[in-house]
Structure 1
Amino acid sequence: MTKTTDARPHLRILAASWEGGGNVPPTLAAIRALASRGHDVRLIADDTMRTEAIEAGARFLPWQRAPNRPDRSFESCFIRDWETADALAGFQRGCERIFVGPARSYAEDILETLATEPTDMLLGSDLLFGSMLAGEVAKVPTALLASNISLWPLPGHPPFGPGFQPALSAADRARDAEVSALIEQAWDGFLPCLNATRAHFGAAPLAHVREQPLSAGRYLLATSASFDFPAERLPDHLRYVGPLLELPSWAHQRWRRPPARKMRPLVLVSFSTTNQGQADVLQRVISGLAGEPVEVVVTLGKALEDLRLKSSANVTIVANAVHDDILTKASAVVTHGGHGTVMRSLHHGVPLVVLPMGRDQNDNAARVDYHGAGLHLDPSISPQRLAEAVRRVLSEPSFAARASALGRAIAREGPGPARLVAEIEDFALSPSRRTLSAA
């Protein structure tokens, strides 16, 4: 490992990522922070991230064997979870097509890249099991970046997925244990595939899929401890680094509020940058707010920019916009509950109405509800009930007060990019802590 002239560490880092929508901005924010600090960063990822990665300061390498999206159209998406019947089917498709199924291809690409030049550490993805395995096989210090809350429940937390609140009773604890067992069973449905991949590289078989992430020495959560549920204790390898709020490269349109509408509360409606089959939900939200004394701005995002929706006089629909411009003036946000949208809204102290569509969104919505910073609703809600919920969030001051308090608590933890850099430098320079304790 070489040193820079000001005695700061100069690390040679290989980062691995994939085009999953909401995980892209935090990955780019991490790269930008590391490169700005003077570290040499290479990113191996889908071709969709090439231009952004280079602009952030990385040297870019595309996946060769592993799945590689050429663009961000919904047609190019590998998982296509909007086609599945339920959340479990969507999860299984993700495991089959990206997370576990192609682990050998991801690992081979990473190992080939590691062999081309010296590398001090690998920054893998918490969802790419091939990145974890490659670090284990190459014996390169490996940290995993999670773009949101932990996939694996922390002590005292409910299982990831259903959007449960923390257990308060024996019945709640029994519920959590039963669902956790079902989730582990779903993961372990891919254990034969993972162990076959491990055998190909000469690695010993695992008893459970969840053991593979334990081969990494750090698990970095790009979320806030203040936002998350309280944990009884944290595993030694886990670190909260805070939100990494990089704007998507395509969200460039500056938004300015028309002077004639300044007297009405402003509501931002945002339902993901990727297609989750949310056209019907978006239409019901717009219909519910059409007759309300509010101004509504709907941002569609890259994958939905061609969506055609019925609008009304108080609703403005734009393909994209810089959310910060809107949030500085907004009184409420109606959203699917993607981590980036939730964190950015709380950063501005804006309460939320969350209608989760799947993925991590149920759990983000549960945390918004837990902190009193908004409401968690079923996405099948009627337009009338949606309007009532928005009216409540706008009229009851406690929602805005708690959203603002939570935003301040998150800010007090410190800026995410700087904390991420500090954790990576500490990890890379502390050989004794590169191997995870099983505690």
Structure 2
Amino acid sequence: MPSTFLFATWNGGGAVPPVLSVARALRERGHTVRVLADTSLHAQVAAIGVEAIAWTTAPQGDPADPAKDVIKDFEARTPLGAFARLRDRIVCGPAADYAQDTAAELRARPADVLVAEFMLLGALTAGEGAGIPVASLATTLYTFPTRGAPPPGLGLKPATGALGRLRDRVLTSVMLKPWEKGLPPLNAARAARGLPPLHSVVDAFGRVDRLLVLSPRALDHPGREFPANVRHVGPRLDDPSWAGDLELPPGDAPLVLAGMSSSYMRQRDQLERIAEALGTLPVRGLLTTGPAVDPATIRAPRNVLVTAAAPHTAALRHAAVTITHAGHGTAVKSLAAAVPLVCMPQGRDQPEVARHVESAGAGITVGRNASSRTIAQAVERILREPSYRWHARRMAAAIAADTATDLAIAELEALAEAGAR
């Protein structure tokens, strides 16, 4: 039976394509879908054939334009400062505004299920207050502490022995403390919706019927335990609507696909060092700058084609190596195509993604300030040593199994059916 789904999302760069992929799949299954989103996303929402609705009180931005970015984490001097901006400007600070807009839309046009990008705790609060089934979409690795894994976000290896377990307990406590400053505005949003206060911001992420992790289970720690409402439903491999057509550099040398964040992260210098590195190798380079950087500003050698955008999924069918900031979307698309990676994490969830790629044996991590020589050496090593390709193929097989059935859609349809009973 067709159901009505209200999505709530924000312009979080790489988080956008997987959320819209789920929305499109539901629409193609015959359900009614609409999306609350920043106006900067409305063209992408329209491109999937779904109705877009603008936030009215919640913040809106465009991370491809540094002047319009809501978080501006590129201005932060430390990782903690970057985290505080996300907490105060998206997750907790404007929770009441997101809740107000979402609740108003649900009153005007009720939905059977609310589906929100997992950082929008305000939207999730509105769904809880409305008493309808609620699902959140985690568009990266599961980012909360659990048994059987080191504290997330630090890029650590799993603990061994008593000292390792002590390390995890201490670091988990340290990591959770900065969330405390977000609790007052979050609880104010909950009070406005008639909900009881919480003792922890992290608890709010779990107050959903389903938390769907759009990531390969095989990319996470093997022995990790997850809460009962968490489901790994596999990655979404769709390219964004603005990716355009594929143009490959001429020749038959190995292709290296390179690209950093689709949002602004002061990445122009990294892009130039990548181009310089590829110029020293017998390869073809396809370097995508994304909407945040003008490709005309990147100096590149003859064997490197620089373009604003390209459909990575198609390009990866021809690629031997990917050089990336280790954004989750680019990483899993590469692994799904059995292409090993050179990771240059810039911040956010990227160090964690890079660590998991490296732990899987499918890539090498270099620093964000790595020289062109270091980047070139990493590419050479991946091209020379077959183990990286072997492990990437192993991950590709696991991702193919995850995506053989659309598990996210199955979970959401089951929620709608349960709510209708």
Tell me the alpha carbon deviations over residues 127-183 of structure 1, each in whole angstroms, 9 at most, x when there is no partner.
011011111111111010111111213321222211112222333322222221121
Contact 2:135-2:212 within 8 A present in 1 as well = yes
Partner of 1:421: 409
Alignment map for 1:12-411 (pairs within 5 Å): 12-69=4-61, 72-258=64-250, 261-262=251-252, 264-305=253-294, 308-411=297-400
Aligned partners of 2:9 and 2:336: how far apart in 1?
26
Aligned partners of 2:67 and 2:395: how far apart in 1?
38
Q: Which amino acid aligns with 1:16?
A: A
Q: What secondary structure is seen at the aligned counterpart in 2 of 1:22?
A: helix
Unaligned runs of 5+ in 1: 1-8, 435-439
Deviation of 1:324 after TM superposition, in Å, equals: 2.7
**Cα RMSD over matched residues?**
1.8
1:171–1:288 Cα change, 3 Å: farther
Contact 1:41-1:57 within 8 A present in 2 as well = no
If the length of structure 2 is used for normalisation, what is the TM-score? 0.95
Aligned partners of 1:255 and 1:392: how far apart in 2?
26
Tell me the alpha carbon deviations over residues 268-315 of structure 1, each in whole angstroms, 9 at most, x when there is no partner.
111011111112222222223321222211100111235612221222
Tell me the alpha carbon deviations over residues 186-245 of structure 1, each in whole angstroms, 9 at most, x when there is no partner.
111211222222233332221111111222110001111122222443321000111112
Aligned partners of 2:302 and 2:397: how far apart in 1?
35
If the length of structure 1 is used for normalisation, what is the TM-score? 0.92
Aligned partners of 2:301 and 2:45: how far apart in 1?
39
1:83–1:305 Cα change, 3 Å: same
Of the structure 1 ranges 67-76 and 43-52, higher mean CA displacement relative to structure 2 is found in 67-76
Of the structure 1 ranges 378-387 and 400-409, higher mean CA displacement relative to structure 2 is found in 378-387
1:170–1:282 Cα change, 3 Å: farther
Deviation of 1:71 after TM superposition, in Å, equals: 8.2
- Identity among equivalent pairs (%): 36
Deviation of 1:266 after TM superposition, in Å, equals: 1.5
Aligned partners of 1:424 and 1:325: how far apart in 2?
28
Aligned partners of 1:117 and 1:130: how far apart in 2?
18
Of the structure 1 ranges 64-73 and 215-224, higher mean CA displacement relative to structure 2 is found in 64-73
Unaligned runs of 5+ in 2: none
1:104–1:420 Cα change, 3 Å: same
Q: What secondary structure is seen at the aligned counterpart in 2 of 1:254?
A: coil
Tell me the alpha carbon deviations over residues 11-64 of structure 1, each in whole angstroms, 9 at most, x when there is no partner.
111110000111110011011100111111111111122122233232221000
1:232–1:328 Cα change, 3 Å: closer
Aligned partners of 1:320 and 1:67: how far apart in 2?
27
Aligned partners of 2:374 and 2:157: how far apart in 1?
23
Aligned partners of 1:317 and 1:306: how far apart in 2?
6
